[in-house]
Amino acid sequence: MEKKALQLKLPRLLQEGMVLQRGKPVTLWGEGLPGSRVEINFQGRKWETVVGKDSRWQLLTDTLQTGGPFPMEIRSRECRISLEQVYVGDVWLCSGQSNMELPISRVKDAYPYVFQNCHNPYIRLFHVKEHFNFHGPEQELESGEWLEADSDTLAGFSAFSYFFAKYVNSESKIPIGIINVSKGGSPIEAWLSNASVADRPVLGKTLALFRDDRYAAEFIEKNERQQSDWQNLLKARDAGLASVPWYQDWHDEGWEPMELPGWFSGDRLHNFSGVIWLRKRFDVPSQMAGKPADLWLGTITDSDEAYVNGCLVGETGYQYPPRKYKVPEGILKEYGNVLTIRVLCERGGGRLTPGKEYCLFSQEGRVDLRGTAERKWEYRIGCRCSPAPMMDFIIRKPTELFNGMLAPCMNMTIKGVVWYQGESNDKNPEEYEEYLRRLVTSWREGWGEKMLPFILVQLPSFAIDLPEQNSGWPEIREAQRKISHELEKVKLTVNLDLGEWNDLHPLRKKEAGERAAAAALEFDAGDGKTEQGPVPAGIRKEEGRVIVTFEPAEKLLVQGGRLEAAELAGENGIFYKVQAWTEENRMIVECPAQMDAKEFRYAWSNAPEGGLLCNLRGYPASPFRMRIG
């Protein structure tokens, strides 16, 4: 039996529970004995082909009947494979970095109903696991399987992908297959093909280095060793881990007050790198004593270990995940509890992130853990040291994720691509427009479809870890907008209002996914518009004012406060905030008397303040800039 399985083999994407694309011929492929005939029976039809000398076979079906599940049989003279659950609907490839990868488990508290009645065999996800290759495109994925949406699998689903699929399915009533090909922290260069970087000397030089397997292995080992050595040095020097560790020592000696949540500031902590210990005393309602509870500590820069009354209740190794820890039964007492946190600060900027939840709660009660005048947080330095070495991850190198994760998917017939990425390119935003153009073009070439639909998810608002000027985020948003208008069958979704100024991974993945889903449905409806919100169509000066006209010609709304994101610049190129308001489909901008306005820009910041321009459906306008005259 094992020998026969090797004689006829399907790729991992063509397995039980898969979704095949409706509305056009579908590619099926696999491996077999050279010269043997392969026959596929599906939906009452039959297709045949012959295995080539390279042991590979491939065929193109007719257009398939939508729905499912349907049985499929693939057989040769030597072997037969039977699949009982094959669906036909729309297959979308969702790709990008961490905000595309982020699982539902990370956002479930924002959507507490998400696991209720979530069983839906018409929503199916294939998650491509991380794998890199610098030498060339892989033929096959290392692992993966099709999973249907239900209470057992949902926590691991990409949140964006799930909400995208759920909305499309609810509107179309057809099976929706999602192939999620994403990796947190990955720049766009990692998703470009070899041909796309061939004329880029810097990328080519990097690629040549990493094609040496020994060099790549040493690179990985060096980065891991440097980080490990730095952390081990802190453990050895940390006074808080001495004979009586500070999470078990209740004495007041050496502890100083600190205002938290907030940044670790003051003369002693300016650009502090090393270990800082934080402590807060608190009481709980009598009914909470001895009972289990949830401990939420916002986010912490950079990593932490949290103790309650000397018991370790949770730890997190880097800054971005929310700290949501469980306090076991028997730990809490009514009076005199002590929360102690050991925080590693890698390169200054340590903090308990402001604007987040810091509390202890259960069904029996809730305790606010923010500092107060009566019960402030306290701190004590465990050790001070040089900054941690900068980590340079291999996933940041050119072509390797395209080759290892994306290329094996290109035989799969799909409806289109949703691309949510850009955060990791904020250090070189001037190149992003060209790279994005190359990505769309080369991916379409790989799938053999020049007009393969693309949906670009524009970066939302974010500010806390970015410089106020020259952060790169406005430029990346502009690059995304320009490519969507330049290339056919590319749509842009604007998400400024869905971001969080203090979190790189905003929770509102449902709303972001549904906007992309609405754009996806527009392709079927023949809607050719590029953006869902108002689009600037013209600009002119008129009697001390600048007037920006938008399309379509419908009333503009301002949501979320007064319009404060309008700026004008004169000949010197320096922008100043100016008063602006809306009248029907126009924005009226007050031009200072002393300025000969030459350029206008809107929402050109990391996290624009004030209200945002929207249409009657609540879709916001993209940030933009325009020359005047």
How far apart are the C-alpha atoms of 507 and 159, rounded to whole Å? 9
Region 322-344: what's the mean pLDDT?
A: 98
| pLDDT(468) > 90 | no
582 contacts 557 by C-beta, under 8 angstroms: yes
Percent of the chain at pLDDT > 70 equals 99
Helix or strand run (H / E) with residue 103: none
Q: Are strands 176-182 and 80-96 parallel, antiparallel or unpaired?
A: parallel
Q: Which of 169, 157, 144 is nearest to 90 (CA)?
A: 169
Cβ density class 567-605: b for 16+ within 10 Å, e for less: bbbbeeeebeebebebeebebbbebeeebebebbbbbbb
227 is a domain residue: no
Residue whose tokens read 């039980």: 16
Does 270 lie in the same domain as 158?
A: no
The residue from 497, 532, 567 where one domain ends is 532
3-state secondary structure 519-557: HHHHHHHCCCCCECCCEEEEEEECCCEEEEEEECCCCCE
Residue 488 has what pLDDT? 97
Residue 267 has what pLDDT? 87
Does 104 lie in the same domain as 27?
A: yes
- For residue 264, what are its two tokens? 């670790």
Question: What is residue 169's three-state secondary structure?
Answer: helix
pLDDT digits (tens, 9 = 90+) for 50-81: 999 999 999 999 999 999 999 999 999 889 99
* C-alpha dist (Å) from residue 112 to 117, 227, 323, 504, 589: 12, 37, 18, 21, 43
216 is a domain residue: no
| pLDDT(148) > 50 | yes
Number of domains making up the chain: 3
pLDDT digits (tens, 9 = 90+) for 222-260: 999 999 999 999 999 999 999 899 999 999 999 999 999
pLDDT digits (tens, 9 = 90+) for 565-583: 999 999 999 999 999 999 9
How far apart are the C-alpha atoms of 264 and 379, rounded to whole Å? 9
Least trusted range by pLDDT, from 63-67, 242-246, 411-415, 511-515 = 242-246
Q: What is the CATH number of the domain that holds 359?
A: 2.60.120.260
Residue whose tokens read 């070495």: 389
Residue 3 has what pLDDT? 44
Does 100 lie in the same domain as 54?
A: yes
Amino acid identity at 59: L
Does 378 lie in the same domain as 406?
A: no
pLDDT band at 594 (very low <50, low <70, confident <90, very high): confident
185 is a domain residue: yes
391 is a domain residue: no
- For residue 416, what are its two tokens? 């289109």
Does 130 lie in the same domain as 254?
A: no
User: Concatenated DSSP letters for 15-30?
Assistant: STT-EEESSS--EEEE
Does 440 lie in the same domain as 411?
A: yes
How far apart are the C-alpha atoms of 575 and 416, rounded to whole Å? 39
Residue 1 has what pLDDT? 36
Does 485 lie in the same domain as 453?
A: yes
Residue 6 has what pLDDT? 55
How far apart are the C-alpha atoms of 494 and 237, rounded to whole Å? 48
Does 44 lie in the same domain as 108?
A: yes
The residue from 505, 532, 559 where one domain ends is 532
389 is a domain residue: no
pLDDT band at 126 (very low <50, low <70, confident <90, very high): very high
Q: List, in sequence order, the alpha helices (H) in 315-419.
A: 400-401
Does 123 lie in the same domain as 60?
A: yes
| pLDDT(526) > 70 | yes
pLDDT digits (tens, 9 = 90+) for 1-34: 344 445 899 999 999 999 999 999 999 999 999 9
pLDDT digits (tens, 9 = 90+) for 354-395: 999 999 999 999 999 999 888 899 999 999 999 999 999 999
268 is a domain residue: yes
Does 366 lie in the same domain as 417?
A: no
123 is a domain residue: yes
Residue 539: which domain range? Answer: 535-627
157 is a domain residue: yes
**Mean pLDDT score of the chain:** 96
Q: What is the CATH number of the domain that holds 165?
A: 3.40.50.1110
Does 611 lie in the same domain as 542?
A: yes
Peptide bond into 261 cis (omega under 30): yes
The residue from 384, 419, 435 where one domain ends is 384
CA 7, distance to chain mean position in Å, is: 40
- For residue 44, what are its two tokens? 């009452």
Q: Considering just the CA atoms, what is the radius of gyration of the chain in Å?
A: 28
Does 457 lie in the same domain as 368?
A: no
pLDDT digits (tens, 9 = 90+) for 194-232: 999 999 999 999 999 999 999 999 999 999 999 999 999
